[in-house]
């Protein structure tokens, strides 16, 4: 909401922010949560003079902020991590994702996990739902350039499956470990899609949608003792577009429709997914 107020001009460039006490009272949260939120907006170059003294100020040119929903699209590897970290500043964290292997999500979770272990983030509940392609389908990608040889097709599929399962297991282990180490109520769920998603989508706390296209290219990969030419997508390089509820009618509608789409897939044609090789 604070980001949306800055973006919309309700909080004008150079204007003093409300005090942390007033913000805590308005949003019904502790002052520590407000401090973390202000710190995130400062890291995005939307605020200046964030300290324990006088209230922060809106940046002179918030339109030039490096990250956040109004920023230009950036590679997933660059843009996803700060948005995930911002989402984990909430008391109740909800992350829904549609992706090919969850590699990008695993990388992005590194920072908020470090902050939780350092005591700087203290979520009470984390609920993560992930939709991944089923192991039983013929993937649209990655596939061999010459897909006529079944052995090659099986090799590429096997490589993808190992990546999908390994990344999912690591993600699940790292999040569930927060139960024992910090008493966080954590739930991590996976379901399998009967198709290869042509896009990746991350929904954060019901308020933000991050969207990227999987763009295919021809590349060579070493699998075992052989090198194969394949069509594949570099998901971490896919440009990430951000939409925030409340920022505009377009953004709000996109976030709402993305949630409807995700929930429909989760509740209808997806199936139980076991991370087994």
pLDDT at position 25, please? 81
- Beta-strand ranges (E) seen in 21-124 are 47-48, 57-58, 74-75, 92-98
Tokens matching residue 164: 């999908």
pLDDT at residue 71, rounded to an integer:
65
* pLDDT at residue 211, as a whole number: 94
> Which pLDDT value is given to residue 276?
76
Determine the pLDDT at residue 27: 72
* 210 and 201 Cβ atoms separated by less than 8 Å: yes
Give the integer Cα–Cα distance in Å for 116 and 123. Answer: 8
What's the pLDDT tens digit per position in 67-81? 555 567 878 877 888
Query: With a cut of 70, which residues of the chain have pLDDT below it?
Result: 1, 4, 7-9, 43-44, 51-53, 61-71, 148-153, 277
SS3 (DSSP) at 165: helix
For residue 30, the model assigns a pLDDT of 75
Encode 143-176: b = buried (16+ Cβ within 10 Å), e = exposed. Answer: bbeeeeeeebbebbbebbbeebbbbbeebbeebe
> Nearest to residue 186, comparing CAs of 124, 274, 105, 96?
124
Which residue is it, tokens 């006490």?
Answer: 21
| Structure confidence at residue 151 (pLDDT) | 54
pLDDT score at 33 = 75
pLDDT at 51: 67
Residue 61: its pLDDT value, please? Answer: 67
């Amino acid at each position: 909401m604070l980001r949306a107020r800055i973006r919309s001009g309700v909080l004008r460039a150079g204007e003093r922010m409300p005090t942390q006490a007033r913000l805590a009272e308005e949003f019904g949260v502790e002052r520590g949560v407000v401090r973390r939120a202000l710190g995130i907006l400062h890291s995005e170059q939307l605020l200046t003079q964030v300290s324990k003294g006088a209230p922060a100020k809106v940046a002179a040119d918030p339109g030039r902020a490096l990250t956040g929903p109004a920023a230009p699209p950036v590679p997933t590897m660059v843009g996803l991590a700060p948005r995930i970290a911002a989402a984990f500043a909430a008391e109740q964290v909800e992350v829904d994702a549609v992706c090919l292997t969850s590699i990008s999500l695993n990388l992005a979770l590194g920072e908020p996990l470090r902050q939780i272990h350092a005591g700087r983030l203290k979520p009470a509940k984390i609920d993560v739902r992930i939709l991944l392609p089923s192991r039983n389908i013929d993937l649209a990608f990655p596939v061999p350039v010459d897909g006529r040889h079944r052995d090659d097709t099986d090799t590429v599929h096997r490589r993808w499956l190992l990546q999908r399962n390994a990344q999912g297991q690591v993600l699940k282990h790292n999040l569930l470990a927060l139960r024992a180490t910090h008493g966080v109520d954590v739930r991590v769920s996976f379901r399998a899609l009967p198709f290869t998603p042509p896009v990746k989508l991350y929904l954060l706390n019901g308020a933000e949608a991050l969207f990227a296209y999987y763009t295919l290219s021809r590349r060579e990969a070493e699998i075992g003792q052989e090198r194969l030419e394949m069509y594949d997508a570099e998901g971490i390089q896919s440009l990430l577009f951000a939409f925030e509820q409340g920022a505009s009618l377009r953004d709000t509608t996109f976030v709402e429709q993305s949630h409807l789409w995700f929930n429909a897939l989760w509740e209808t044609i997806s199936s139980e997914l076991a991370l087994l090789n």
